[in-house]
């Protein structure tokens, strides 16, 4: 297992360098420059050119790329062209918001989705049909539209919850919970639908396996068969789906953070793109790629723990 972990960690290095290279290339196509954003629309071409030279943006793209890759290998993501603050500090200050959304959404979706999927697979009939229809609706609803409706109903009409903003958990736990419940609920709708469907399908396959018939013939209780044996053996694809949903929440945070005015890494990316702050944009992309790789590794390890048959030798 330790050898496997070491191999996976080493494999992350070329992936991160590849992501950094592709992101650098794509960012070059963003119109405008940081110098123009700093000086404003009335700035003269001479002033823009002088500031570009000061920021090092007048150098050939190949030179800028090699410098950024060298800094990345040293663990340095650079500094913001606009504020001058270290990129790692800017991202670290915004990460708790997005990470809270992703973790809470995944936990809520997993608990509800697995329970609903298992019950639907066990009961069948009307319950199963309701799940199929409900999950189809949940997968079809755009989360930005659902977010606007949630704000309109629960924040404006009923005044139960705040519409926007974020409070740090350690500053005021109750305020943190009231501010994050709507974004998490909106994001969880699609995730619950996906996890419930995957759980239902995986458990229906397990119910047809020989070991389930053997357990029933041995007089093992139905609940024990469902929750202790079938669900555990069906957990592989469910855990994989949860990992994909976590990554999807990270990507979808750009939209949800705009709807609820949350200052996470999604909004940081939008702000940086608007002013062509290349180091911050690239830093967000790289750190997001690192999080995705770590999550994928955690999903594999959890799958190994739940199903010893798929463990590497």
Residue 94, Cα to own-chain centre: how many angstroms? 14
Q: At residue 222, does pLDDT exceed 60?
A: yes
- SS3 of 292, please? helix
Tell me the C-alpha distance between 34 and 114, whole Å: 47
pLDDT for res 157? 92
- pTM given for the model: 0.81
Q: From the CB of residue 14, how many other CB atoms can be counted at a distance below 10 Å? A: 9
Q: At residue 43, does pLDDT exceed 80?
A: no
Q: At residue 313, does pLDDT exceed 60?
A: no
- CATH node for 88-275: 1.10.3720.10
Q: Which two tokens stand for residue 151?
A: 């704000």
Each residue's pLDDT tens digit, 224-280: 888 888 888 888 888 888 888 888 887 777 788 888 888 888 888 888 888 888 888
Question: The tokens 């709708």 sit on which residue?
Answer: 189
> What's the chain's Rg over C-alpha atoms?
24
CB-based burial label for 76 (10 Å; 0-12, 13-18, 19+): middle
pLDDT for res 264? 87
Domain boundaries, the chain: 88-275
* The total number of residues written for the chain in this structure: 313
pLDDT for res 213? 86
54-63, 140-149, 153-162, 202-211, range with the lowest pLDDT: 54-63
Q: At residue 312, does pLDDT exceed 70?
A: no
pLDDT for res 309? 60
Percent of the chain with pLDDT over 90: 3
């Amino acid at each position: 297992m330790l050898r496997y972990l070491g191999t996976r960690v080493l494999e992350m290095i070329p992936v991160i360098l590849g992501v950094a290279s592709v992101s650098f290339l794509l960012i070059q196509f963003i119109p405008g420059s940081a110098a123009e954003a700093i000086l404003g629309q009335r700035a003269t071409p001479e002033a823009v050119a002088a500031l570009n030279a000061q920021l090092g943006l007048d150098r050939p793209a190949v030179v800028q790329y090699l410098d950024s890759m060298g800094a990345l290998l040293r663990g340095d993501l650079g500094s913001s062209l606009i504020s001058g603050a270290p990129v790692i500090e800017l991202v670290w200050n915004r990460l708790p918001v997005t990470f809270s959304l992703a973790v809470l959404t995944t936990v809520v979706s997993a608990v509800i989705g697995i329970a609903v999927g298992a019950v639907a697979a066990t009961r069948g009939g009307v319950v199963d049909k309701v799940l199929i229809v409900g999950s189809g609706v949940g997968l079809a609803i755009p989360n930005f539209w659902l977010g606007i409706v949630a704000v309109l109903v629960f924040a404006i009409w009923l005044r139960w919850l705040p519409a926007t903003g974020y409070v740090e958990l350690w500053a005021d736990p109750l305020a943190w919970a009231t501010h994050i419940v709507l974004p998490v609920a909106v994001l969880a709708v699609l995730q619950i639908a996906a996890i419930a469907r995957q759980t239902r399908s995986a458990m229906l396959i397990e119910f047809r396996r020989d070991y389930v018939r053997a357990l029933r013939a041995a007089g093992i209780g139905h609940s024990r068969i469902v929750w202790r044996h079938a669900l555990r053996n069906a957990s592989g694809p469910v855990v994989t789906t949860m990992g994909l949903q976590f990554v999807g929440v990270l990507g979808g945070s750009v939209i949800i953070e705009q709807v609820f005015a949350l200052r996470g890494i999604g909004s940081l990316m939008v702000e940086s793109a608007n002013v062509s702050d290349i180091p911050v944009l690239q830093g967000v992309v790289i750190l997001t790629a690192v999080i995705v790789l770590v999550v994928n590794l955690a999903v594999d390890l959890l799958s190994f723990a739940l199903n010893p048959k798929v463990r590497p030798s």
